[in-house]
A and B are shown apart, each in its own frame.
Chain A
Amino acid sequence: MIHKYQYKDQYIVLDINSGAVHVVTYIVYDILDYYKEKPLEDIPELLYDRYGREDILEALEEINYLVENEMLYTDDSQVTMDMLEGRGAVIKAMCLHVAHDCNMTCKYCFGDKGAFEGVRSLLSLETGKKAIDFLLEHSGTRRNLEIDFFGGEPLMNFEVVKSLVAYGREAEKVYGKNIRFTITTNGLLLDDVKADFINKNMDNVILSIDGRQSVNDNMRRTVNNKGTYDIITENYVRFVEKRKGTYYVRGTFTRENLDFSEDVKHLADKGFKNVSIEPVVTDPSFSYALQEDDKEMILKEYDKLTDLYLDYAKEGKKFEFFHFNVDMNQGPCVVKRVSGCGAGTEYVAVSPEGDIYPCHQFVGNQDFKLGNLNDDHFENNRYDEFNKAHIYNKEKCRECWAKFYCSGGCHANAYHMNHDILEPYELGCELEKKRIECAIAIKAILSE
Chain B
Amino acid sequence: MKNIKTIAKPTLKNTTSKGCGECQTSCQSACKTSCTVANQECENTKRR
Contacts and interface: CB of A to CB of B under 8 A. Distances in A.
Nearest to A412: B33
Interface string B17-36: 11101111111111111111
A340 B43 CA distance: 16
Contact of B18 (A86, A204, A329): A86
A400 interface: no
Given A326-B38, A407-B37, A148 B28 contact: yes
B45 to A, nearest CB: 11
Contacts of A410: 27, 33-35
B15 A78 contact: yes
Interface string A233-268: 000000000000000101000000000000000000
Which range contains the number of B residues in contact with the other chain? 35 or more
Contact of A409 (B6, B15, B25, B35): B35
B10 A70 contact: yes
A192 B11 CA distance: 44
B15 to A, nearest CB: 4
Interface stretch (A11-19, A126-134, A222-230): A11-19
Given A330-B47, A336-B40, A347 B27 contact: yes
A71 interface: yes
A439 B40 CA distance: 13
Q: Binding site of A, secondary structure by majority: helix, strand, loop or mixed?
A: mixed
Contacts of A58: 2-3
Contact of A332 (B3, B4, B5, B42): B42
A87 B21 contact: yes
Contacts of B21: 87, 90, 92, 142, 335, 346
Contacts of A204: 29-30
Contact of A74 (B8, B13, B33, B35): B13
A380 B24 CA distance: 22
A224 B35 CA distance: 33
Interface stretch (A59-67, A165-173, A302-310, A368-376): A59-67
B27 A327 contact: no
A206 interface: yes
A447 B8 CA distance: 11
A19 B38 CA distance: 10
A334 interface: yes
23 contacts: A20-B8, A21-B7, A22-B6, A22-B7, A24-B3, A87-B19, A92-B25, A146-B25, A204-B29, A248-B30, A248-B31, A278-B33, A323-B36, A327-B41, A330-B11, A331-B8, A333-B47, A342-B26, A404-B37, A405-B36, A407-B37, A410-B27, A411-B35
Given A28-B3, A410-B34, 12 more contacts: A17-B12, A17-B13, A20-B9, A23-B4, A25-B2, A58-B2, A78-B13, A83-B15, A146-B29, A327-B42, A328-B8, A330-B42
